[in-house]
């Protein structure tokens, strides 16, 4: 159990809570039970696909190249898309039946087909290619290790979007230990739903013993921890692509390549946590001193919007080029 007041900034207050350990008997003053629904994920567009693939150990560029090889072989749909809603014309059940032929995915496909009704999740709709999904079945031994990992990721995400939401029982137990409030929390799955087919999303369970209000519990150990605040985590390739999308930097087709160029030109380094090198600091400091606008995402985002306006026929190319 944790102290109810969470993080102490005052050492004296923390010490006061720590000194409550005698006698070693706590009283349960309240038990709260709640059901929680964990929504199934949205279909893959390029940004969310790359975020998932980089979390699985791929670089963004590698994930994109492998996905393109699977597309060219006819195993998955076109991997460059902003769309997160399956079109009505896509025969979802037929694709699930096709995945029954893949031994590693067969049982999960049967789970989805056994549902009373298949209702896919839906996100951002754009006039674009459909979300990334499997197109034909293939056996594991017919693909390279990297191809199989990406194919399996796409298939499992597809099945997860058609499954049902997961449901958990959440328990919050308030304990009075010598007039100091502590809280223990538990979580167990009532229905795993989409979590059954998509292991890339953690399904954590914390089991508490049967416990009721006014029960007495024994204190086994009380820890007094001293920690320092930590900086924000560095960007991974997946989180960097996500923020690039939010800032409208690059396009779904170029973001992974942009990151690869930064690595190739030695501006950044690191496999999971990306760190800028000295040359990156030098370039940014110089730009901020001599031409601040170039160092901000606003300029690139504005140019992207202007090019969209040209495509839509709202602006003339020459005017946009001149302004740029």
Sign of dihedral through CA atoms 300, 302, 308, 311?
Answer: negative
Cite the active site residues: 78
Which helix (H) or strand (E) is 3 found in, with range?
strand 2-3
List the end-to-end C-alpha distance of the chain, in Å, as a whole number: 59
How far is residue 207's CA from residue 172's CA, in Å, rounded to a whole number?
A: 12
25: β partners: 218
With 0-12 CB in 10 A as exposed, 13-18 as middle and 19+ as buried, what is 32?
exposed
- Name the phi and psi angles at 189, rounded to 5: -80, 125
Cβ–Cβ contacts within 10 Å for residue 47, how many? Answer: 20
- Name the phi and psi angles at 107, rounded to 5: -60, -40
Tokens standing for 237? 């390739």
Strand, coil or helix: 189: strand
- Strands 268-269 and 166-177 come out as unpaired
For residue 158, give every residue at least 6 positions away whose Cβ sits within 8 Å of its Cβ, in sequence order, or none: 43, 44, 95, 99, 133, 134
Tokens standing for 238? 């997946």
Helices (H), 73-182: 92-99, 106-113, 145-162
């Amino acid at each position: 159990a944790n102290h109810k007041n969470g993080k102490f900034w005052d050492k004296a207050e923390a010490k006061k809570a720590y000194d409550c350990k005698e006698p070693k008997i706590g009283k349960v003053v309240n038990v709260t039970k709640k059901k929680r629904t964990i929504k199934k994920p949205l279909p893959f567009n390029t940004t969310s696909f790359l975020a998932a693939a980089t979390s699985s150990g791929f670089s963004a560029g590698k994930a994109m190249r492998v996905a393109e090889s699977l597309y060219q072989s006819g195993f998955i749909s076109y991997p460059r898309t902003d769309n997160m809603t399956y079109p009505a014309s896509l025969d979802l059940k037929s694709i699930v039946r096709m995945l029954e032929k893949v031994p590693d995915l067969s049982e999960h496909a049967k789970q989805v087909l056994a549902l009373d009704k298949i209702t896919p999740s839906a996100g951002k709709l754009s006039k674009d290619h459909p979300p990334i999904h499997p197109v034909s079945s293939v056996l594991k031994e017919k693909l390279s290790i990297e191809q199989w990992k990406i194919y399996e990721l796409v298939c499992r995400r597809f099945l997860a979007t058609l499954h049902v939401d997961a449901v958990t029982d959440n328990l919050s137990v308030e304990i009075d230990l010598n007039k100091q409030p502590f809280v223990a929390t538990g979580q167990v799955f009532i229905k795993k739903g989409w979590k059954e087919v998509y292991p890339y999303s953690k399904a954590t369970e914390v089991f508490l013993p049967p416990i009721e209000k006014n029960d007495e519990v024994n204190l086994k150990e009380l820890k007094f921890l001293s920690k320092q605040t930590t900086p924000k985590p560095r960007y991974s390739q997946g989180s960097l692509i996500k923020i690039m999308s939010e800032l409208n930097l690059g396009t779904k087709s170029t973001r992974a390549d942009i990151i690869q160029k930064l690595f190739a030109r030695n501006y950044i380094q690191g496999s999971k946590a990306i760190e800028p090198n000295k040359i990156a600091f030098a370039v940014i400091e110089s730009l901020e001193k001599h031409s601040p606008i170039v160092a901000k995402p606003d300029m690139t985002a504005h140019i992207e919007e202007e090019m969209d306006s040209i495509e839509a026929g709202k602006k003339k190319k020459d005017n946009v080029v001149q302004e740029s």
